[in-house]
A = this chain, B = another copy of it.
Amino acid sequence: MEAFAVPGLPEFETGDDIATAIEAACDLRGDDVLCVASTIVSKVEGRTATLADYPAGPRAREIAARFEEQTGEERDPRFAQAVLEESTDLVMDEPFLLTETRFGHVGVNAGIDRSNTGGAELLLLPKRPSESARRIRERLSVDASVVVTDTSGRPFRHGQTGVAIGWAGMPASRDWRGETDRDGHELEVTVESVVDELAATANLVSGEGDDGTPAVVVRDWTFGDHEGSENLYRSVEGDFVRQALREWHYEQ
């Protein structure tokens, strides 16, 4: 397996065609997985915004005031408003905002970025990243798969990693159920989230800074002869951590 950054990509702007730009810059093949950072998907989809777009309502003002109380840091209530408007569930409201975005991803501040925004104050996540992935894939001249990535934190472990927020042309996961181990026993590990592992691989190459490498081609990797699963985001019902966080209250 090989992973390389697509070289020489420009700064992307609303309406730009990511697929064409990438195929002009590298020799994409039909069995490649093309990993695209959500930041450029958001840019071409016009998902930039300013704080002035989000006059703060009572809930956002409450959140910002509590945050200032707790940390002593100033917080613009319009930013909390933007996060609330981008979210369909508030998983934690203090000491930071952890929410569910409209497509099911759980992340801090609804994944709104304030860096690599192309000069905008805010860069929102794509509205439906799997649809974005499908649109990019449809414009490719080859039959590659597409994964839209973001960088995200997680419980239990420090730091952030690349994760998939949208995908097209392949299942989200390899389903190993029914397969056997080296001793002939049925496997315990059931579902391997390969889109997240591909996004992590891409992130090793892309980085988080000013490298200008928002697209990574993964070559000579195959999904293999496994069942596929499309499920990536847990339902609340099956997610005990989300249930626990609902009942929990932050105390300083």
Q: B248 touching A159 by the CB < 8 A rule?
A: no
- Most chain B beta-carbon neighbours within 10 Å: one of A1, A119, A186: A1
Inside 8 A of A115's CB, which chain B residues have their CB? 181, 183, 185-189
**Chain B residues in 8 Å Cβ range of A242:** 155-156
Contact check, B156 vs A233: say whether CB atoms are below 8 A apart: yes
As a 0/1 sequence over residues 118 to 147 of chain A, the CB contacts with chain B under 8 angstroms (1 = contact) are: 110000000000000000000000000000
User: In the docked arrangement, what's the CA distance between A202 and B245, Å?
Assistant: 32
- Specify which of A154, A159, A200, A247 lies most central, judged by the most chain B CB atoms within 10 Å of its CB: A159
When all copies of this chain in the complex are counted, the total is 2
A240 near B233 with CB under 8 A, answer no
CB distance from A155 to the nearest CB of B (A): 4
Asked if A193 and B157 sit within 8 Å, CB to CB, the answer is yes
Distance between Cα atoms of A188 and B79 in the complex (Å): 15
Nearest-Cβ distance from residue A123 to partner chain B, whole angstroms: 11
Q: Which residues of B contact A231 (CB under 8 A)?
A: 158-159
Interface residues of A in 194-224 (CB under 8 A from B): 194, 196-198, 200-201, 203-205, 207-210, 212, 221, 224
Chain B nearest CB: distance from A156 CB in Å? 4
What chain B residues lie within 8 Å of A119 (beta carbons)?
Answer: 183
Bound CA span A221–B4, Å: 10
